[in-house]
């Protein structure tokens, strides 16, 4: 977020110095607008800063979900090497052939 805020021509360095950009928590758009409205920022600067913050939050969420999806895909590799069921592992009364399983479903 800080790189986008610093590169934005709509947000002045004076406003940036009034906001602690080193310790940013995830807050709602309304909360960020409230915090920015307490500075000397104009309404246009507040709107632009909220837009930048929203985009940064969305990008962080997408990256997090992408990392979690990659982690889930990595879990498939060891799971594919797990041994199959043996007959003694099946519960009591479990049909031994596939046709009996489909007969139970009907």
Q: Which residues have a Cβ under 8 Å from the Cβ of 101 and sit 6 or more positions away?
A: 95
Phi, then psi, of 9 in degrees rounded to 5: -75, -15
Q: In this predicted structure, what is the pLDDT of residue 23?
A: 66
Angle between helices 43-80 and 29-37 (to 10 degrees): 150
Percent of the chain whose pLDDT exceeds 70: 57
Q: Is the pTM of this model over 0.85?
A: no
What's the pLDDT score for residue 62? 97
φ, ψ dihedrals at 45, nearest 5°: -65, -40
Query: Comparing 72 with 85, which gets the higher pLDDT?
Result: 72
């Amino acid at each position: 977020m800080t790189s986008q805020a610093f590169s934005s021509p709509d947000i002045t360095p004076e406003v940036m110095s009034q906001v602690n950009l080193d310790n940013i928590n995830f807050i709602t758009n309304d909360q960020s607008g409230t915090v920015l409205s307490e500075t000397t920022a104009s309404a246009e600067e507040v709107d632009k800063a909220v837009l930048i913050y929203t985009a940064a939050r969305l990008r962080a969420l997408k990256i997090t979900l992408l990392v979690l999806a990659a982690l889930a895909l990595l879990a498939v590799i060891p799971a594919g090497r797990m041994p199959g069921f043996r007959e003694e592992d099946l519960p009591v009364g479990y049909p031994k052939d596939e046709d009996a399983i489909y007969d139970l479903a009907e």
